[in-house]
Amino acid sequence: MSTGQPDQPGPPDQPDPPRQRTPPARWQKLLGVGASVALLIFILVGVLPRFASYSGAWAHLTHLSAWWWVAIAVAAAINQVAGVWPYQAALPGLRLKDGFLLIETAAAISNAVPAGGAIAIGMT
């Protein structure tokens, strides 16, 4: 006997509801943090001392005048803001905060992931 109702519970033009994404396990988070710390220590202790002297760099930094520190801070701020402007020109309505998020995410990916430059371009 036919009841006159369709076999599917909803209209065919409605998409399936999104699936709930399960958060990563605690051991995965700890493994990621441990790997990051180990890589940082390796770079600071094993790699950088082969190319530069910490004591020599510190000696130069301690002899900078206040005006040089102001100049460095202003240059760093302009560098960060200037990286957002091309995206704001290409994407009208992009807020400064969202632009910062975009460039910082792309920079993090390109610096932390193998072949990250290509992946970062795809992310932007």
Least confident of 18-32, 61-75, 84-98: 18-32
Tokens standing for 33? 């943090």
Exposure b/e, 9-21, CB count within 10 A at least 16 = b:
eeeeeeeeeeeee
The pLDDT of residue 123 is: 74
Q: What is the pTM of this model?
A: 0.51
pLDDT in tens, 93-120: 999 999 999 888 888 888 888 888 888 7
Least confident of 16-20, 35-39, 58-62, 68-72: 16-20
